[in-house]
Structure 1
Amino acid sequence: YNAVDKETPTTTDRQIEVDIPRCHQYHELLSSPTAHAKFKRILKAWVINNPHYVYWQGLDSLCAPFLALSFNNEALAFASLSAFIPKYLHKFFLRDNSPVIQEYLAVFSHLITFHDPELSNHLDGIGFIPDLYAIPWFLTMYAHVFPLHKIVHLWDTLLLGNSSFPLCIGVSILQQLRDRLLSFGFNECILLFSDMPEIDIERCVQDSIRIFCSTPKSATYRQHARPLKPKVSEERPNLSYYSIDYHDLPQTDLSMEPITLEELKGEKC
């Protein structure tokens, strides 16, 4: 981290400087000038260290929990961010990330239908599709829509799950707001999600685990998901029920194959 040039001006500096003062500024530590300087150095280092990606708004929100928890160790905050993104946001920061995000939203839509067909039919019927509310959820792993103390609690569980666990969190949020959503029309739903309503985060965590455990792994298959992880060693496997991804499973004749986005969207009843 110390060897990365974090001082030379780059084309992303301006956007980073605009985003930082808006990121969790209710937080006493993160709102300080010292934190702003640390934010900028970590984000610049990440952009420089990942030339295949670009800076998207929301990266500052992803950085915030790690900076807050490792405030006196920038290198650790940077390393945490650098390990987090490949697992949960693989390809999300490509210059053209539309195919990745659209596939993610389509799979999310499938999961809503799988776990709550009545709610899914209602939301589809009024035209309130995930594209209208869920992109900030997933692009920041909820760090843009929840306060920091809730994010830390949520991520403690998220980090134990695989790359599809965030989808289950999204379903759990919708189910917590289910009664209101079923009684709302399109405009009311837009208004509700314009500022994330109060969510019981412990209930959200427990519901997410329940949803995850009752979801077939094939239902969360994404061709743009994180590729197969290399084994650490035969004696020390790096997989558990919660952390294993579909791509980590042995290939068989019944394994899922990539399909086009149009086919994926068309599979929904």
Structure 2
Amino acid sequence: SDVEEFRTSSWRLSLKTILQKFCVSHGIQYKQGMNEVLAPFLYVLPPPHGNLLPYSLFEAFLFRYLERFICVDDSSHLFKGFRLFHLLLLYFDPQLAQHLNEQDFPPELYSPQWFLTLYSRSMPLPHVLRLWDMMIAVDD
């Protein structure tokens, strides 16, 4: 990421500690993208504030919005998400959906990081924070 704080050793240690605690506490294996979901919480509540609150927020957020994608070893939920996304694209932008179909470019080729990180990997951090604020505010 472009955020300078993310490069410090204290930040990386907090990230590692929280992810290990989460995985051990819930008996799940680390999944790609979990660090990118945790990063915004550590940015808002950096390591000098301790790990308890970032851990609790990360845990609640992950179970509310990403449990089916990250905490379940079955990838069928992810493929259902791709299918739903494709249907929404057909409805809201049929021309784009048709173009992507003609190019043999299904959602599973371009959208996994969107689903697995809720855009924290693909958008600038200020945009991610605003998006997540709106998601949490409307609880959707």
**Mapping of residues 82-161 of structure 1, within 5 Å:** 82-94=59-71, 96-161=73-138
Report the equivalent of 1:73: 50
Between the two proteins, the alignment pairs up a number of residues equal to 138
| The one of 7, 26, 32 aligned to 2:8 | 32
Aligned-residue offset at 1:93: 2.1
CA contact (8 A) 1:70 1:77 kept: yes
CA contact (8 A) 2:69 2:115 kept: no
Range with greater deviation from structure 2 (109-118 or 152-161)? 152-161
Question: Does 2:20 align with 1:44?
Answer: yes
Aligned-residue offset at 1:29: 1.5
CA contact (8 A) 2:37 2:58 kept: yes
Give the TM-score, by structure 1 length. 0.49
Any idea what SS the aligned residue of 1:78 has?
helix
Give the TM-score, by structure 2 length. 0.91
**Mapping of residues 226-245 of structure 1, within 5 Å:** 243=140
What is the one-letter code of the residue matched to 2:82? Answer: L
Higher relative contact order structure (alpha carbons within 8 Å, sequence separation ≥ 6): 2
CA distance in 1, matches of 2:138, 2:105: 28
Query: Whose Rg is larger?
Result: 1
- Structure 2's unaligned 5+ residue stretches are none
Aligned-residue offset at 1:41: 0.7
CA distance in 2, matches of 1:27, 1:97: 33
CA contact (8 A) 1:54 1:93 kept: no
Any idea what SS the aligned residue of 1:92 has?
helix
Report the equivalent of 1:63: 38
Which structure dedicates a bigger proportion of its chain to helix? 2
CA contact (8 A) 1:137 1:145 kept: yes
What is the one-letter code of the residue matched to 1:110? Answer: L
What is the aligned-residue RMSD (CA, Å)?
1.5
**Mapping of residues 135-214 of structure 1, within 5 Å:** 135-162=112-139
What is the one-letter code of the residue matched to 2:13? Answer: A
CA distance in 1, matches of 2:134, 2:72: 30
- Structure 1's unaligned 5+ residue stretches are 1-23, 163-242, 244-269
Question: Does 2:29 align with 1:54?
Answer: yes
CA contact (8 A) 1:58 1:139 kept: yes
Any idea what SS the aligned residue of 2:5 has?
coil
CA distance in 2, matches of 1:161, 1:106: 24
4+ residue runs over 4 A deviation: none
Aligned-residue offset at 1:94: 4.1
CA contact (8 A) 2:42 2:54 kept: yes
CA distance in 2, matches of 1:146, 1:94: 23
